[in-house]
Amino acid sequence: MALAGSDAGANPAASTEKWSSRFAFIMAAVGSAVGLGNLWRFPAETGVNGGGAFVIFYIFCVVLIGLPVLLSETLIGRAGQSSAIESMKNVARKSGASPLWSLGAAVGMVGAFLILTFYSVIAGWVIYYAGVFINDVSSSLSSGNISGGAFAGMNADAIQDILPALHKNADMMIAMHALFMAITIFVVARGVHGGIEKVAVWLMPMFFLLFLGVTIYSLSTGDTSRALDFLFSFDAQRLLDPKVQLSALGQALFSLSLGSAMMITYGSYASRDTNLAKTSGMIATADTSVAIIAGLAIFPIVFAAGLSAEGGPTLLFATLPTAFQSMPFGSIIGLLFFVMVFFAALTSSVALLEASVSWAVTRFNANRAMLAVGFGLVAFVIGTWASFSFNSQSKLYLLNFGIFEEQNVFNFLDKLTGSVLLPVSALLVAIFVGWVADKQLVDEENGMSGAPHMIWRFLIAWLCPLVIGVILITGLFPQIVG
Ligand code: PFF
């Protein structure tokens, strides 16, 4: 049952592209994982879900669910040697199972595509804020006050108003969303080598450098002890709240780019000598560290400025700039901060678009650049619709129950992907690798032996399906647990 790397060549849907090195694979995969999910969504979700309880459950989900699923997804990709759906079909065929199992990747691919729609809207805000800080740096330079805080002379309300003003300015918001989507399309159109890999190899090291700088700055100027307390002390009652649990599971999957066909796609570009277990461990460690450190960097600034942690999706945008006002070198730090977020967002959005583009390239043997433009344009239009959510009271009554009750389009897409599509895809992947795929084939790919191997087998076959299944049901239908 062994799948030799070369027999993929006989398959018309085989992928021909490969990362040029293990470093490139790690940077691209970490680049996909680290993004707005860590810097914008994690602090926002932590804030609205009560801090510590959410964080503890999130870490539990990363270690016991995220990591085993991450390894499973990359190994399906490498064993299947094609786009996500085709890879899963290939592995199913080789295991004598129904190709319908590729539904797992199909659900993920739709999820990734829908995430891209609103991801680009938020990344558009990031570009806008970088512009605001460029202006601010230049005015502080001309007034000779660069060592002071940002937005000199502006009152706090006016700073808080930057975001609502952007929301009212639909043309500007759509233009920024268009700009970000255009950059994403450009990178994906250039292919795995010429685009995705180049961007990751250059931007991710720069991201880590900036991240380190901003974190040291924040810890030395902000209210760290309150942030630590908020992130790690918890109320046991909330730990048992199914909605908190579902949000934490969704966040773990979202942050590691799991359940979205994406890690299968990137795994298929990995060479045979890459140890997938080790690489998965590195990706998960890097991603989780960035999320926790981002919390440690953001909350001290927020608390030091006496602001609330419960800003939700606007936390990063409305709260932080206010905080930069009272910080030394506030305009420069603000600019560096948003440039850093932009880098992280771009390496993730290219992965989101790549999941569907690579599928269509292999499935229809079509031109990559045209597909990137086509998918990107559709995502842009849906994203534009979602972006109106911020300036109107309109709600979507499509699925009007539980977590979906009276949500606007933006929140609806966020919840549909994070709390339904990604967990469902991850659940199917876990059952597939744990029970359906040929054991020998799986074991040849995973690069593990001994106790770690047995633990992984147990987690993927038993714990992951059980926990994801239970959390999905109780989170979506909380009335079941009363
Ligand atoms: N992991 C990314 C983040 O945390 O921002 C978001 C993401 C990228 C999710 C790619 C899914 C994906 F396929």
* Ligand 1 atom at shortest distance from the alpha carbon of 344: 5
In 3-state terms, what secondary structure has residue 355? helix
Q: Compute, in angstroms, the gap from residue 226 CA to the centroid of ligand 1.
A: 29
What single string gives the DSSP state of each residue in 432-474?
Answer: IIIIIS-HHHHHHHH---HHHHHHHHHIIIIIHHHHHHHHHHH
**Residue to probe by mutation, ligand 1, list 253, 352, 414, 422, most atoms within 8 Å of CB:** 352
- Both tokens of 70, joined, read 């991450």
- Both tokens of 39, joined, read 């810097």
* Tens digit of pLDDT at every position of the chain (482 positions): 333 333 333 344 555 688 999 999 999 999 999 999 999 899 888 888 888 999 999 999 999 999 999 999 999 999 999 999 999 999 999 999 999 999 999 999 999 999 999 999 999 999 999 999 999 999 999 988 888 888 888 887 888 889 889 999 999 999 999 999 999 999 999 999 999 999 999 999 999 998 898 888 878 877 788 888 888 887 788 888 888 888 899 899 999 999 999 999 999 999 999 999 999 999 999 999 999 988 888 888 778 777 788 877 777 887 778 878 877 888 998 999 899 999 999 999 999 999 999 999 988 999 999 999 999 999 999 999 999 887 766 665 566 666 666 678 888 899 899 989 999 999 999 999 999 999 999 998 988 889 999 999 999 999 999 999 998 988 888 777 65
pLDDT of amino acid 441: 93
Going by alpha carbons, the residue nearest to atom 7 of ligand 1 is 257
Distance CA 365, CA 102 (A): 19
The answer to whether 150 touches 322, Cβ cutoff 8 Å, is no
The answer to whether 379 touches 363, Cβ cutoff 8 Å, is no
Going by alpha carbons, the residue nearest to atom 9 of ligand 1 is 257
* Ligand 1 atom at shortest distance from the alpha carbon of 355: 13
In 3-state terms, what secondary structure has residue 101? helix
Strand pairing partners for 82? Answer: 14
CA distances (Å), origin 67, targets 80, 184, 204, 446, 456:
20, 27, 21, 12, 9
Task: Provide the whole-model pTM.
Answer: 0.91
Q: Residues near 364 by Cβ (< 8 Å), separated by ≥ 6?
A: none
Nearest to 401 by CA among 475, 471, 482, 310: 475
State the alpha helices, DSSP H only, in 36-102: 36, 42-48, 52-61, 67-80, 84-94
**Residue to probe by mutation, ligand 1, list 45, 115, 251, 358, most atoms within 8 Å of CB:** 115
* Ligand 1 atom at shortest distance from the alpha carbon of 345: 5
Distance CA 311, CA 40 (A): 11
pLDDT of amino acid 243: 85
In 3-state terms, what secondary structure has residue 82? strand
CA distances (Å), origin 98, targets 46, 75, 188, 338:
40, 18, 31, 46
Distance CA 463, CA 456 (A): 10
Q: Compute, in angstroms, the gap from residue 85 CA to the centroid of ligand 1.
A: 18
CA distances (Å), origin 203, targets 36, 270, 344, 348:
15, 20, 8, 11
Phi, psi torsion values for 426, nearest 5 degrees: -65, -35
The answer to whether 277 touches 72, Cβ cutoff 8 Å, is no
Phi, psi torsion values for 87, nearest 5 degrees: -60, -45
pLDDT of amino acid 321: 84
Q: Compute, in angstroms, the gap from residue 155 CA to the centroid of ligand 1.
A: 36
**Residue to probe by mutation, ligand 1, list 348, 349, 353, 354, most atoms within 8 Å of CB:** 348
Q: Residues near 434 by Cβ (< 8 Å), separated by ≥ 6?
A: 457, 460, 461, 462, 464, 465
* Ligand 1 atom at shortest distance from the alpha carbon of 33: 1
- Both tokens of 451, joined, read 């106790």
Q: Compute, in angstroms, the gap from residue 112 CA to the centroid of ligand 1.
A: 8
* Ligand 1 atom at shortest distance from the alpha carbon of 351: 10
What single string gives the DSSP state of each residue in 243-294?
Answer: HHHHHHHHHHHHHTT-SSSHHHHHHHTS-TTS-HHHHHHHHHHHHHHHHHHH
Task: Ligand 1: list residues with CB < 6 Å.
Answer: 32-33, 35-38, 112, 115, 254-255, 257, 260, 262, 348, 351-352, 355
* Ligand 1 atom at shortest distance from the alpha carbon of 40: 5
Distance CA 166, CA 171 (A): 9
The number of residues making up the chain comes to 482
In 3-state terms, what secondary structure has residue 172? helix
CB atoms within 10 A of CB 144: 8
What does DSSP assign to residue 35? S
Q: Compute, in angstroms, the gap from residue 119 CA to the centroid of ligand 1.
A: 9
Distance CA 477, CA 473 (A): 6
* Ligand 1 atom at shortest distance from the alpha carbon of 287: 4
Nearest to 13 by CA among 105, 97, 111: 105
In 3-state terms, what secondary structure has residue 83? coil
The torsion of the CA quartet 436, 438, 441, 447, rounded to 10 degrees, works out to 50
The answer to whether 431 touches 457, Cβ cutoff 8 Å, is no
Q: Compute, in angstroms, the gap from residue 159 CA to the centroid of ligand 1.
A: 29
Phi, psi torsion values for 234, nearest 5 degrees: -135, 160
Phi, psi torsion values for 407, nearest 5 degrees: -100, 155
**Residue to probe by mutation, ligand 1, list 32, 38, 290, 417, most atoms within 8 Å of CB:** 32
Q: Compute, in angstroms, the gap from residue 37 CA to the centroid of ligand 1.
A: 6
Tally the C-alpha atoms within 13 A of residue 67's C-alpha that lie toward its C-beta: 23
Longest Cα pair distance anywhere in the chain, in angstroms? 72
